[in-house]
Chain A
Amino acid sequence: MSPKVRIKTLKIDGRDIGAREDETILQVARENGIQIPTLCHLDGLEPIGACRLCMVEVRGSSRLLPACVTRVEEGMEVTTKSPRLIRHRRMILELLFAERNHVCSVCVVNGKCELQSLAVALGMTQVRTPYRFPRFELDASHPRFVNDHNRCVLCARCVRVCDEIEGAHTWDIMGRGVNGRVITDLNEPWGESNSCTGCGKCVHVCPTGALSEKGTLREDAGKQRDFLPYLTLMREVRR
């Protein structure tokens, strides 16, 4: 057990809440049944605060803070829903939909996609920002898996799970800005990757249909994302 961990008290959406000092706003909110939308975050992976969907307001701070990487503090007053937050989250989601080619109707994970669910959760039925329609190739060189850049949201979950959990670091992100894309090894076809162990963790943590298993139909293309906390827990116990 870790030595002394202090307990902090704070307010989230007006509710008084107690939390361990090493917890993030997101963790505490979830423990208390308060929903904050997230995309790049996944329990069991290092948080990176990249998607910015989890932004919350903290009283006394003019800036919005990402709940997934912001630690709780004594006396904090957090607001997870406000007109401004809702507007911003919607817009971020719209930007994500507009960035690449997310054609839900013809996607292997239609119905099981986190991006799609976010649209439902945030009540988004229209992308007002113009679609960009970039052209991306598909990498189907791996015998079991496919990488479809058209559906990638650059959350870097695959990069992190491969590095932090599997220890292979096959994935990385190449390029900057809207030209960034995930690559295997030094931008070699996935099927030719020497470092890939074929464990498939990346496929399971991918929130969209960007990484999928070949030959799976919609019905069983479901992804198991909850294996990570167990895996990390088991490792910690062993250590």
Chain B
Amino acid sequence: MTKARLATVWLDGCSGCHMSLLDMDEKILEVAKVADVVYSPLVDTKDFPENVDVALVEGAVSSEDDLEKIQRIRKNSRFLVALGDCAVTGNVAAMRNLFGVRAVLDRSYRLTSVPAGSPPDQIVPRLLSRVRPLHEVVAVDLTVPGCPPSAGVIHHVVTELLAGRTPDVTDLTRFGA
């Protein structure tokens, strides 16, 4: 039996969703029996591979790099899950939309750093003018809100998807859960 190809991605989020994923503890071994994790902050692959069956994406789209990534992820994945409030709503990551990029960069690089510096213009990806939830940028197949969604919910989502069913999470999790 060929195993399903599973990917997990960390865009602009706090990694809490990945922590929650790891909180599955020993259940993760079950998942490993039916799926290969082909890409993840937890494994050592540089580029998002092709032919991914299920991609779990944590975090909002905040930088040019995020944007490129999510578009590639969409192209290469059959089923894309927006995992957690940042991916689903923008959440805390999107709170900077109220102030604008300029003000945010000034605050972190000029006003609060000693000695005052200036926002980087190389290496660090440029921020988009506006943080967006995934579905505003690409088509999303399932949204799983929660900050973070519990390990149980993530386990349910993954196992259902790997079994070829689309899970219904409406009664299991919610915004801010």
Contacts and interface: CB of A to CB of B under 8 A. Distances in A.
Per the CB under 8 Å rule, do A and B touch in the complex? Answer: yes
Interface of A: 97, 101-107, 110-111, 116, 119-120, 123-128, 130-131, 133-135
B135 A126 contact: yes
Contact of B176 (A101, A104, A126, A128): A104
Interface string B84-102: 0100111110110111000
Contacts of B89: 97, 103, 127, 131
11 contacts: A103-B94, A103-B176, A104-B174, A105-B92, A120-B170, A120-B171, A125-B143, A125-B170, A126-B140, A133-B98, A135-B98
B142 to A, nearest CB: 9
Nearest to B148: A105
B97 A125 contact: no
Contacts of B174: 104, 116, 119-120, 125
Contacts of B90: 131
Contacts of A103: 89, 91-92, 94-95, 176
Q: Which 8 A-B pairs have the closest CB atoms?
A: A104-B176, A105-B147, A123-B170, A126-B143, A133-B97, A104-B175, A110-B176, A105-B176
Contacts of A120: 170-171, 174
Contacts of B140: 126
Contacts of B98: 101, 133-135
Contacts of A128: 135
* Chain A binding surface SS class: loop
Given A119-B174, A119-B175, A120-B170, A125 B95 contact: no
B85 A125 contact: no
Nearest to A126: B143
A126 B143 CA distance: 6
B156 to A, nearest CB: 14
Interface residues of B, number: 28
B144 interface: yes
A124 B168 CA distance: 11
| Centre residue among B88, B92, B98, B140 by max chain A CB count within 10 A | B98
B147 A133 contact: no
A235 to B, nearest CB: 37
Contacts of B104: none
A125 to B, nearest CB: 5
Contacts of A125: 88, 143-145, 169-170, 173-175
A103 B92 CA distance: 7
A34 B174 CA distance: 23
Interface in B107-159: 130, 133, 135-136, 140, 143-145, 147
Interface string B156-170: 000000000000011
Given A105-B92, A123-B170, A124-B170, 15 more contacts: A103-B94, A103-B176, A104-B175, A104-B176, A105-B85, A105-B176, A110-B176, A116-B175, A125-B143, A125-B144, A126-B143, A126-B145, A131-B89, A131-B90, A133-B97
A1 B145 CA distance: 50
B161 to A, nearest CB: 15
A103 B93 CA distance: 10
Given A125-B88, A126-B135, A116 B143 contact: no
Contacts of A130: 136
Contacts of A124: 170
B70 to A, nearest CB: 16
B147 A104 contact: yes
A99 to B, nearest CB: 13
Contacts of B94: 103, 131, 133
Nearest to B136: A130
